[in-house]
Structure 1
Amino acid sequence: MLRILVVEDNLTLLDTIIEILSDEFKVDSASNGDDGLYEAMQNIYDAIVLDVMLPGMNGFEIIQQMRRENVNTPVLFLTARDALEDRVKGLDFGGDDYLVKPFEASELKARLRALLRRSGSLTLKQTLQYRGIELFGPEQDIFVEGEPVKLTIKQYELLEYMIQNRGAILTKEQIYDRVWGFDSETTIAIVEVFMHHLRKKLEPYHYHKDIKTIRGVGYMLKEQ
C-alpha cells in the first residue's frame, strides 16, 4: 500500500485528511514544520501533503531543504484561497501541485492519484511491474511469469517498496520505517529475516538474484 505523509497544524483538518486517505493509503502525520521535515527526510513516502503555514519551519522551508538533500518525494501543497503568491512560490520551490482550502475529499484524492501516476508510483490500474513480476495493489496479488505467488502482507509490501525504488540503494532503516513503521515493536533485524524469506519465494523464478545486498548499508533491486 502506498504511504502518504500529511503535515498540517490544524488538528481538526489533519484528522479529516487522515480519515479521507486511510482507505487507500497508509498515512503518517505531523502537526508542525520541524516534525514534518524530519519525517519527510526519511525518504520513505510516495507523496507528501504539505501545508504552507506551519509552526516552526513553514512548508516552503521544508521543501527547499528536501530538494537540497535530493529527496524528490512529490509534494501537494495546501494553500489558502487568496494566496496566489504562495501557490506560485510553492511550485517554484519544487512542489508538484497545490490544493486550495477548503477542498472536497474527492478532489484531494484525485490530485494525489494524478501526482502518484506522474511519479510512477501508481498506474491507472494500480499495478506495478518489474520484469516478469506484476503486483496488483488493491488486492495485493502477485504474479511471477504469469503464475500466482502467495506472499504475506509484509512480504508484499517489502517487494512493492523494492520495485518502486528499483535501481536505488535502500538502507535497512528506510525499509524498516516504510514497511514496519516508526512505532513498530519489532527491531530492525526483522528486515534481514523478511528479505531472506522473500528471496526464497522468488528463487524458483530466479528473481532472488536481483535483490542485491549492499554490505553494511542495505539492499537494491537490480536486474542481474
Structure 2
Amino acid sequence: MNIFLLEDDADTAAFIARGLKEKGHQVEVAGDGVTAITRLLADRFDVIVLDRMVPGLDGLTVLKAVRAAGHATPVLMLTAKSQIADRVAGLEEGADDYLVKPFAFAELAARVTALGRRPLGSEAAAILKVADVEMNLLRREVRRGGKAVELQPREFTLLEQLMRNPGRVVTRTMLLDQVWNFGFDPKTNIVETHMSRLRSKLNEGFSRSAIRTVRGSGYLMEDSV
C-alpha cells in the first residue's frame, strides 16, 4: 500500500516508516500540516496516518481539509491526546480509527492493514441494495433512485451497517461499536449528529425517508419502497 504519514518527531517518523516499509508498504512522510495538506490534495494514498499535534496546521485541520476535498481515504489518527473528547473530535471530523501514543508497532501495522483492506470478489457481489438505495462497496458510491448521493466516509460506513441489516433494527450501541469502535457509550450525540446528516443527504428530493427511527430502540431501513 501507499501510505502517507504526518509526524513531526523525526525519530518516531523514522521508526514507523521503517517498520511499514519492512512490511512491503511505500511510505511518504511529512513533518508539518501545511506540507501534508499540499501533498494529500495533490496525490492519492491508500491509508493516511496523522499525528494530532504538529507544527503549523494540526492533524485535525489536515483531516478536515482532506474530507472537505471529498477524499475518502481511510485515516488513522495517531496522537498522545487520550481523552475521550479528543477521540470523539477526531472521529466526528472523519477519522476512521484512533491510536494513542505510546503504542506497539504491531498494533499500528495491524490497524493500517485493516484500514487499507477492500472488499474482494466481483463488483456485483459488492453491491448492497435496500428499497431504492444502492451502495457499491468497491467504488464507494451510493445512489438513491438512480441519483448519486455524496457521503463522507463515516456517513458511508453508517449507511453500510443499516443496509447490511434490512428490515432489522440497528441499535445505537451497535452503531457505536461497529462504526466508531466504541465498546462503551461515550455519552455524546455522535450517532444522532451523523444520522441527521446522512438522512438529509439521502432524503433530498424524496418524500419518503430512507431510514426510520424506532423510538427507544434504534434505526432501520425497510426493504421496500
TM-score w.r.t. the length of structure 1 is: 0.52
Q: CA deviation at 1:34?
A: 0.4
CA distance in 2, matches of 1:110, 1:76: 11
| 1:59 maps onto 2:59 in alignment | yes
Task: Report what 2:88 is aligned to.
Answer: 88
Which amino acid in structure 1 is aligned with residue 4 of structure 2? L
Residue of structure 2 equivalent to 1:7: 6
Measured in 2, the distance between the counterparts of 1:17 and 1:47 equals 14
Distance 1:38 1:87, change over 3 A: same
Offset, 1:38 = 1.0
1:19-168 matches, within 5 Å, as: 19-23=18-22, 24-80=24-80, 82-117=82-117, 120=118
**Residue identity opposite 2:28 in structure 1:** D
Conserved in 2, the CA contact under 8 Å of 1:43 and 1:73?
no
Q: Residues 86 and 20 of structure 1: is their aligned pair in 2 closer, same or farther, counting only changes over 3 Å?
A: same
SS of match in other structure, 2:72: coil
Say whether the 8 Å CA contact 1:78–1:99 is kept in structure 2: yes
Read off the aligned partner of 2:50 and give its amino acid letter. Answer: L
Residue 15 (structure 2) pairs with residue 16 (structure 1): yes
Change (3 A) 1:166 1:59: closer
Aligned pairs for 1:192-211 within 5 A: none
Q: Is the 8 A contact 1:52 1:59 kept in 2?
A: yes
Gaps of 5+ in 1: 132-163, 168-224
Q: CA RMSD, aligned part only?
A: 2.3
Q: Aligned partners of 1:75 and 1:31: how far apart in 2?
A: 17
SS in 1 for 2:89: helix
Q: Which runs of 4+ in 1 moved over 6 A?
A: 128-131, 164-167
Return the alpha-carbon distance in structure 2 between the equivalents of residues 46 and 36 of structure 1: 15
For residues 98-130 of structure 1, the C-alpha deviation after alignment (integer angstroms, 9 at most, x for no partner) is 11101111101111111112xx2x76xxxx878
CA deviation after TM superposition for structure 1 residue 165, in Å: 7.1
Distance in 1 separating the partners of 2:123 and 2:82: 44
Amino acid at match of 1:55: P
| Aligned residue type for 1:45 | F
> What is the one-letter code of the residue matched to 1:98?
Y
Q: Unpaired segments of 5 or more residues in structure 2?
A: 125-137, 142-225
1:84 positional shift:
2.6
In the alignment, is the contact (CA less than 8 A) between 1:63 and 1:94 conserved in 2?
Answer: yes
Residue identity matched to 1:25: H
Give the aligned length.
Answer: 127
Distance 1:64 1:70 in 2: 10
Taking structure 2 as the reference length, the TM-score comes to 0.52
After superposition, the Cα gap between the structure-2 partners of 1:53 and 1:89, relative to the gap in structure 1 and judged at 3 Å, is same
Residue 82 of structure 1, CA deviation = 3.3
